[in-house]
Structures are given as C-alpha cells and as structure tokens.
Amino acid sequence: MGRIVEEKITRFDGGIADDPREPASNAGSLIKHFNIFSNPFKLTPYRSTEADTETSVSSTDLENYRVQDFQLGLDGKLYGLGRASGSAVPKVFSKANPISGLWTAETTAQGTGALIRGCFIEWQSKWWMFSGTTDISYWTIGSTFTNSALSGGLGATITSVAQGVIGADNNLYLFYNNKVVKVNSAGTPTDNVLTAIPSDMRIVSACRWGSYIAIACAYGTSNTTIPSGRSQVYIWDMVTDTTVSDVIDWGEGAIRVIGNIEGRLVGVSDEYLSNPISLTNGAMVVRMWNGGQAQVIKRVTANQLVTVDSGSLSATITRIPRSVVIKGNKMYWAASVPFGLATSIESTFHLGIWSFGRKNVNSDFALTIEYVEEAADTSNYYINSIGNAGNYWFISHSVESAGKVTKTDDAANFTITSIYDTRIINGGDSSIRKGLKGVSVFTEYLPTAGQIVLRYRKNEETAYTTIFTNTTDNSISQSATKIGGRTATMTIASPAVVTLTGHGLAAGDAIYFTTTGALPTGVTANTTYFVISTGLAADSFQFSATSEGSAVNTSGTQSGTHTLYRRVDALPEYREITFRVESTGGAEITGIKWKYEILDKDVY
C-alpha cells in the first residue's frame, strides 16, 4: 500500500486564482455567487434574484421602457433611466421603496432628444444625463425636464459618454468623447474645461481620487471600438484647463471602468478579448495604482476570441459594461469572460457581477464573481447595466430591447447554484498516479431546503462526475468512499430517455437503477445497463441492455423515485483532480477534506 496523504481547504478568501494550479490553498479556479469576504473561513451563498418589472399597469410593464443606469437617490428612492414607450427619448423612472413595491414613471421626466446611456447622476436636486447629439439634459426632481442645459449645445457631436463625478470642489463633472463639462453649484455648465486629452482617445470612466479626478481613457472614439493600443489615466486637479497633474500608462487594451478603493486606483481593462492579435489569449486585467506604475494584480485569461462589441449610444452591448459600484472596500462591475471550461457557446461564458477588494486592511485583495444572473437569456447572454441600494442589486440583462430587470430577492430564497471549484490539485507532482480514498464536505447546519453537491473532474476530462448529493437537514458534513447514487427521471417512450443534470456519464458506462416504487416496463431494478452514444447529452442519455446495443424502449406506467448508480462506483485514480462544490437552498460551506494514496513510485 502506498503512502496516504490528507489535504483540506478551510479558508476561501483568496478568490479566483490567476492560474488553476496556483499553490494557494485559499484560492479556487472558479467562484460564483458566494460571499468570500465577510467570513474567510466560510462560503456563504447569496440570495437568488427575482423579476423587477412591475408597475401599476402590469407585472412586466417596465420592460416596455428598457430601464437601466440604476442609482439610489438622496431621497431614498431608486431611480433608473429608460426610454419612453415606442420612442427613443429619455424618461426617468423611480421606486419609492427600492426593495419592494412598484416602479413609477415620473410624469414630468421625459425629454425630446435621443436617449444616451451611460451617464445618469444626481446633482443639486436634479438628475443629469446626455441626450440628442449635442445636449446636456436634466430633470429637476418633481418638476420639469430641461432638454438642453447649455445654450447652443456642446461643441462636438457626442460619440461616447462616461458616468459623471462630483468633484472635491463641489462641482459636477460630466464626460463625453475626450471632453469634460463642468457644472457649477448653480447648475450652469461649461464645456471643454480640460483640453489635455488627445482627440484619438475617449473617456470611458472616472472617479474621485483625493482632491483630484482620475479620468480613464481608451483609444478610439466609439464605445464599441475594438481594444487596441494602450490606455491612459489622467490625474486632474479640476483647476488647470490645459494640463493634468499626472498621466498613468494603464497598459495594453481598453480600460473599461475605474474606481477608488482605500485610496488606490483600480481599473479593469479588456486586453484584446475580441482582437485577433491576442492569439485567442485575450484577458480581463485588473490593475492597481497608488503612485509609480500601474501594476497588474489579476489577469483572467480567455480561452477563445469573443464577439466584437456592438450597438449604439442608446443600446451598447459590451463585454464589460460601463457600470461600476464602489462599496465596502470593493469595486463591482459586470463582465462576461470565457475561461476554464467555457465553450464557444456564449451561455457557458462566466457572466456576472465581478468584484475586487478585501474585507479589511489585514486581508489580501481578491477577485471573484460575486453575483450571477441565471435569468439571462442564453441566446442573448448579456448584462447591460447594474446598480445597487444597500445590499440589493438591480440588473438589466439579456437583449436590451427586451427590457429585462431583476433584483435581489426580498425573501431568503437560494435557487441560484453557487459554485466553488478548487484549484487543480496534483499533490505537487502531476506525473504521479494517486488513488482517491475518501472526500468530505463540511457545512454549517444544513437548512431545510439546503443542498450540497460534490463533483470531481480528473486529468484531461472536461465534464464533472457527481460523487454525492447531501440534503440531510441539520447535517454538518457528508463523506464518501465511493460514488453514490442520484435521483433521475425516465420517460416512457421509444427510446426511453433518462434525465439527470450534469450526469457526467460517457458512452459504455455501466449503470443500474433502483426505485421506491415501480420502474417502467422494459427496465428491471438492479440490472446492468449501458449508456450509449446515441442521444448522449450533458443532462440526458439513452441506454441499452448491451454495450452500444439498441436503446431500451419503455412502456406501461411508473411510480416512486428512481435512483441511478454506476456499476463501477469506486472513487477515481488520477494524476490531477479538481473538486466542484455546488450549493443551493442556503447551504454554507466551511471546508473540504480528501485523502489519497500515492500509487506510483518516482523513477529516480
């Protein structure tokens, strides 16, 4: 017998690792919809989302107005910028209680110029935005809409915009193209107050940095320019109009969002995700600056090229939208990046609200996919805009014209699957064969609806195999020394089709069924059957009485709960292995432990 080795994971605040083989025990290769920051020794799932499109007219009426750019007002209401029904002009909507109740169309808050998305900010009891082709507009809360706040309009046609910033000098700054507009406390705008930004760059995001404004710029004059060249961040004192205090080289690609975390500038760039010069190795890159050079902190490398950004000023589709939220030592933004096991199908990309930050000064910075939106249309797999009010999030998703909006659920529902993938585990030597002897998942006391599913993927495999499912109320652990059975459904048809989400079976695998009632005619309990290649899909399959024989046909009736088992149910031998833990129903994970036997001897 070879040497037995035990390993465990009890800390999770390392976030998503730069490399799946990174030897950091507190990092994973994929983390989705878990809170890793509040308690570093526990993975706490977030609530699900629910549709948030109800007005006094109907439960889906808000969809007609395509509301985005969600902002919490100083009066405690949630506001959003949409468009008038059947028209492309701006219209403001609000919710008196952000977490419940109905959306209301503000009756006096409709403009006449074309809607422009990406800038919607409250200042001096007004909501400011751009509209038309050259206009700064605002709606005075509870009063009238002003289509053009600047006589004669702006000095250039608007081709791109960024969210505004209230400066340390108590003035509002708005950004379009490569230009800055200053709005003083009296509400009077002045165009082009900073001329230092080159004409071949566009302002994409900005934030306060002490007594300065950091202005992030990417090359190209359109929101959908393919990322190229190098981005720049300009540090401006809001005083001089021809020069800036500093220019920071933000590296290759197009910076998308910037924010201030604990006095450090953090920017996220699209580094050639859609540009062929990346050789399919584009990336989403997180950089940080606090003097000197901007440093790469995290790089999420894609496994393929993605489609080029498209759209217009009123409906731009981007890989990394312009929404950014700074909250609780963290920066949040939406992104869709294909990495890991993502395929060419867009809905396998890792779409969600990403975050970068840390719990406190004693913690390390980490990156994670904080929230996912499973309601996004798989054929139009986008997040268009995000916003938040306290711990509630508001998400515009799917194709812009559908007007879909969801928010954090009012009730403690946890139907979204939260996922934690360990890094690739090889015991420090991927050339040595190991035999998995046993594995355990530890939890807080499992709630009534709680469920934990443990899966594994070994060596070069691209699909996960389920080891066990734990739904035992109040349990705090589940262990396995072999692969357990799983509940499955079976059709009465010719051929019969078994449905089992993420079954992980391959053609030729031997299986058998048990039941608490009666199996359909044509299938016998505890009899060996074989998965066949015909009809084999990720969540369903057909089976035969012989290996690659004809599919079994079923008839008659059935009852009870059917359980599927593998005939060979031993835990695997492997050189490298990744464990996946899935949580639904509010199950909190506190640890993972496994033991393996070293089967090979080193050759030297």
How do residues 2-24 score in pLDDT, each as one tens digit? Answer: 899 999 999 999 999 999 999 89
Is the pLDDT reported for residue 335 higher than 80? yes
Q: Are residues 446 and 336 in the same domain?
A: no
Q: Are residues 434 and 285 in the same domain?
A: no
Contacts of 344 by beta carbon, 8 Å cutoff, 6+ apart? 304
Q: Are residues 179 and 293 in the same domain?
A: yes
- Tell me how far apart the alpha carbons of residues 278 and 281 are, in angstroms, rounded to a whole number: 5
Q: Are residues 177 and 280 in the same domain?
A: yes
- Per-residue pLDDT band for 50 (boundaries 50, 70, 90) equals very high
- Per-residue pLDDT band for 278 (boundaries 50, 70, 90) equals confident
- Tell me how far apart the alpha carbons of residues 264 and 261 are, in angstroms, rounded to a whole number: 5
Tokens encoding 362? 């004693």
- Confirm whether 379 is domain-assigned: no
- Per-residue pLDDT band for 568 (boundaries 50, 70, 90) equals confident
- Confirm whether 244 is domain-assigned: yes
Q: Are residues 308 and 448 in the same domain?
A: no
- Tell me how far apart the alpha carbons of residues 223 and 159 are, in angstroms, rounded to a whole number: 8
How do residues 200-236 score in pLDDT, each as one tens digit? Answer: 999 999 999 999 999 999 998 887 777 778 999 999 9
Q: Are residues 213 and 314 in the same domain?
A: yes
Check residues 503 and 399 and name the one with the higher pLDDT. 399
How would you label 314-333 residue by residue, b for 16+ Cβ within 10 Å and e otherwise?
A: bbbbbbbbbbbbeeebbbbb
| CATH code of the domain in which 447 resides | 2.60.120
- Confirm whether 529 is domain-assigned: no
Q: Are residues 201 and 294 in the same domain?
A: yes
Q: Which pLDDT does position 221 carry in this prediction?
A: 81
Query: Average of pLDDT values for 150-172?
Result: 96
Q: Which of 308, 342, 376 is the last residue of a domain?
A: 342
Q: Which pLDDT does position 318 carry in this prediction?
A: 81
Q: Which pLDDT does position 503 carry in this prediction?
A: 85
Q: Which pLDDT does position 227 carry in this prediction?
A: 73
Taking a C-beta distance cutoff of 8 angstroms, is the pair 470, 588 a contact?
Answer: no
Kindly report whether the peptide bond that precedes residue 495 is cis, defined as omega within 30 degrees of 0: yes
Torsions phi, psi for 65 (to 5 deg): -110, -5
Total tally of structural domains belonging to the chain: 2
- Tell me how far apart the alpha carbons of residues 261 and 14 are, in angstroms, rounded to a whole number: 18
- Tell me how far apart the alpha carbons of residues 227 and 271 are, in angstroms, rounded to a whole number: 7
Sheet of 49-51: strand order equals 49-51, 404-408, 392-397, 383-389
- Per-residue pLDDT band for 569 (boundaries 50, 70, 90) equals confident
- Confirm whether 188 is domain-assigned: no
Which residue in the block uniquely carries the two structure tokens 């450090």?
Answer: 264
Q: Which pLDDT does position 312 carry in this prediction?
A: 79
Q: Which of 276, 309, 342 is the last residue of a domain?
A: 342
Tokens encoding 194? 């900073």
Domain span at residue 474? 4-45+420-484+569-598
How many C-beta neighbours within 10 Å does residue 90 have?
Answer: 30
The proportion of the chain whose per-residue pLDDT surpasses 90, expressed as a percent, equals 89
Taking a C-beta distance cutoff of 8 angstroms, is the pair 316, 224 a contact?
Answer: yes
- Confirm whether 207 is domain-assigned: yes
Q: How many helices (H) and strands (E) does the chain have?
A: 0, 48
- Confirm whether 264 is domain-assigned: yes
Q: Are residues 441 and 578 in the same domain?
A: yes
Q: Are residues 425 and 305 in the same domain?
A: no
Is the pLDDT reported for residue 451 higher than 80? yes
Q: Are residues 173 and 38 in the same domain?
A: no
- Confirm whether 29 is domain-assigned: yes
Q: Is the dihedral of CA 414, 80, 346, 305 positive or negative?
A: negative
β pairing state of 78-83 and 540-541: unpaired
- Tell me how far apart the alpha carbons of residues 546 and 225 are, in angstroms, rounded to a whole number: 56
Tokens encoding 429? 């030597």
Q: Are residues 306 and 177 in the same domain?
A: yes
- Confirm whether 89 is domain-assigned: no
Q: Are residues 308 and 442 in the same domain?
A: no
Taking a C-beta distance cutoff of 8 angstroms, is the pair 266, 331 a contact?
Answer: yes
